[in-house]
Amino acid sequence: MTQQQTYDTLIVGGRVIDPANGVDQIADVAVTGGRIAAVEGGLAASAAATTRIDATGQLVLPGLVEGHTHIFESVSKVGAPAVEAHLRRGVVAAADAGTAGASTFAAFRRIVVDPNPMRILSFLNVSVLGLIDFRYGELLNPETFNVEDALQVAADNADMVRGFKIRLSEDVLGDQITPLLKKAVDLGEQGGLPVMVHIGETALSVPEIVDMLRPGDIIAHCYTGKAPTILGDNGRVQDEIYAARERGVLYESAHGRSNLSFKVAAPAIEQGFIPDVITSDTSARNWRGPVFDLVTSMSKLIALGIRLEDVIPRVTIEPARLLGIDGEGFGALTVGGPAHVAVLTGAGVATLTDAAGNTIEAARLEPTAVLLNGEQFDLVPWRGLSA
């Protein structure tokens, strides 16, 4: 008689979707010593485990990766608490998108990154101030865009700085859009890093903006309803948007407080234009609604027509690659790799809102378990329930 295999954790009977490894099947996931020990159908029948998680009828995914959020809590007016807003909602790695700048980065590291179990990355704001308070545009004084400081901080923190962030809204940088965007792209070139560009309430058109970007640079808020949008006067996604994508420019959804419009997203999705990475742009201004969290952003985009099978890679392996953490095992359920797992269930139909107050009936996804390095963390209920 063979000895029964015993694991730390068995996640049993779920639909395992792991795009990086080409897996989409009903299977059991075994975890031992913080690592994925096996992903196999029928494994649980003959194995024992200290903890068994019944995932029947649920999705078993790589732990979610958030490519755009704001988590400089206690310092920035937009900083949401990283663990409450993300880990306890199924996200194991997250990139802060420009909340910290060169002058505040040491504090970001000490307050947010060091004490936090999640993997945290950063798109460093080109302004030394970062996004400290939304009432005061961080580039209204262009002197705050200090190339040397940004390059130094990026180099000193290469383990977590994965790009630079610039916000092009007029209340952020006045009428200096073109020279400051050009300066940001030059900074990216010098630092060997991509630039994430926030659009919405910007004087340039999206074709004019993408024309200045390099392969690997990222347009944040691709479904914003605030001018300029990706749609032309004929209601179709503009040709230049696709041409830039052909050149390697990336698009992320970044819902945010004011930058997801169902009226832009629905036709764009119907025309086949979907983001390279799906992000929530969670912040202290929206994590109690209308954004809530990444799984709610996923639910909205699925309700608008993006297939579940197309959403999953865009919240797992694609952002992991973009952030350069796929090599650390994020975004995949690879046997032998770290056990970062999210289990999601269908939580019924909910009325969800975009940034302009438009509503949609959506089948809402809800996390039921999250593992980071094999350790299971407590979840918090959807904050929309109390809203």
Nearer to Zn ion, 9 or 258 (CB): 258
Nearer to Zn ion, 125 or 316 (CB): 125
CB of 323 to Zn ion, least distance (A): 15
Phi-psi region of 42 (alpha: psi -120 to 50; beta: other; left: phi over 0): left
CB of 19 to Zn ion, least distance (A): 25
217 in contact with Zn ion (CB under 5 A): no
Nearer to Zn ion, 166 or 317 (CB): 166
Length of the chain in terms of residues written:
387
Nearer to Zn ion, 68 or 340 (CB): 68
Contact 26, 13 (CB under 8 A): yes
CA dihedral sign, ordered 99, 104, 106, 111? negative
Interface positions, 243-282, toward Zn ion (CB under 5 A): 281
CB of 129 to Zn ion, least distance (A): 15
**Which residue matches tokens 């390697």?**
248
CB of 254 to Zn ion, least distance (A): 6
Q: Which residue intervals of 78-200 are DSSP H helices?
A: 82-85, 105-108, 147-156, 170-173, 177-191
Nearer to Zn ion, 11 or 195 (CB): 195
CB of 69 to Zn ion, least distance (A): 7
Q: What is the DSSP string of 219-286?
A: EE-TT--SSS-SB-TTSSB-HHHHHHHHHT-EEE---TTT---HHHHHHHHHTT---SB----B-TTT
Inter-axis angle of helices 294-303 and 262-270, nearest 10: 60
Interface positions, 53-112, toward Zn ion (CB under 5 A): 97
Interface positions, 5-64, toward Zn ion (CB under 5 A): none
Nearer to Zn ion, 157 or 258 (CB): 258
Q: Which residue intervals of 74-123 are DSSP H helices?
A: 82-85, 105-108
In order of 211, 224, 231, 251, 267, the CA distances from 235 in angstroms are 21, 14, 5, 18, 8
CB of 78 to Zn ion, least distance (A): 8
Nearer to Zn ion, 196 or 372 (CB): 196
What is the three-class DSSP state of 149? helix
Parallel/antiparallel/unpaired status of strands 250-252 and 341-353: unpaired
d(C-alpha 260, C-alpha 263), whole Å: 9
CB of 97 to Zn ion, least distance (A): 5
Count the site residues for Zn ion by CB under 5 A: 2
CB of 30 to Zn ion, least distance (A): 37
Closest-approach residue to Zn ion (CB): 281
Nearer to Zn ion, 7 or 145 (CB): 145
CB atoms within 10 A of CB 113: 21
For residue 332, what is the DSSP state? -
Which stretches of the chain bind Zn ion, using CB under 5 A?
Answer: 97, 281
